[in-house]
Amino acid sequence: MPPRPRSDRRPGRRVTLSREQIVETAIAVLDRDGIGGLTLRGLAAELGGGLGSVYWHVDGKAELIELACDELIGRALEAAGPPGGAAADVPSPPMEVDLETSDPVVLDAVDRLRRMAMALFWQLDRHPWLAVQSQAAFAGGSNGLLVWERLGRPLADLGLTPRQQFHGSTALMGYVLGVASVMAEQGAGADRERSQEEQLEDVVEGWLADAPEELTWVRSVADEFVHHDDVAQFSAGLDLLLLGLVRQALAG
């Protein structure tokens, strides 16, 4: 067939976009299709607008992802509640290690650290693409600095030296991002249809088929891996780090 005799649709405005709306939709797409599924063309289509329009509001794909990360980190900050200490909208399993102290200052500091770390992880776990990307965004985005501040303050209250505070804060940050990243990659090719444990069983089977003998320890924990719980696993490791920090503070 011939092209339309007259193009009754020439370039021009159709919908109105906003920076916030674009970031919002980008987050939705990222949650649905993962980092590889975010396409500027697809995003524009989802918004009902043109490709060039997106570029007018956002500088490029890199900045868009940075904005999305900063937005979610901000929500984590919000979910952690005020620094003072009100309860937050994040899971908070009880500590499973004995801190061997009843100093209220120490216990309060540990509680604040725990709340911030859990809130951050909670957000990273619900947006698996975020963990990998945010490692860059933490230094750039403004909310990343706020998180760092809220991790550092309690460390100062513990009486650690400035260097210990610095090392402790980066250790916590690295731990949170690292565990979340590994979990995100691990659940990357997940199939929403089948149960998680069933899929993990297949993963383990794939491991143990290729490299059979010698890996006796890995085999011994395969069962733990299949039946693991992300939050509990993260919380357990976090407790170890916090216990180390407390011991370091009390020994100083």
Partner DNA sequence: TCGAGAATAGAACGATGTTCGAAATCCGGC
Partner DNA sequence: GCCGGATTTCGAACATCGTTCTATTCTCGA
Start-end of H helices in the chain: 19-33, 40-47, 51-57, 61-79, 104-126, 128-140, 142-157, 162-186, 196-210, 216-226, 230-251
Location of structure tokens 């250790």: 171
Residue 53 interacts with a copy of itself (CB under 8 A)? Answer: no
Q: Residues 151 to 170: which contact a copy of itself by CB under 8 A?
A: 152-153, 156, 162-170
Token pair recorded at residue 215: 């890996």
Residue 214 interacts, among DNA, a copy of itself, none and using kind-specific CB cut-offs from 5 to 8 Å, with: a copy of itself
172-185 exposure pattern, b = at least 16 Cβ within 10 A, e = fewer: bbebbbebbbebbe
Residue 36: CB minimum distance to DNA, A: 9
Q: Please state, in angstroms and rounded to a whole number, the distance separating the CA atoms of residues 228 and 55.
A: 43
Residue 173 interacts with a copy of itself (CB under 8 A)? Answer: yes
Residue 234: CB minimum distance to a copy of itself, A: 8
Q: Residues 233 to 252: which contact a copy of itself by CB under 8 A?
A: 233, 236-245, 247-248, 251
Q: Please state, in angstroms and rounded to a whole number, the distance separating the CA atoms of residues 25 and 246.
A: 42
Give contact residues for a copy of itself (rule: CB under 8 A): 97-98, 132, 135-136, 138-139, 142, 145-146, 148-149, 152-153, 156, 162-171, 173-182, 184-186, 188, 203, 207, 210-211, 214-218, 220-221, 223-225, 228, 233, 236-245, 247-248, 251
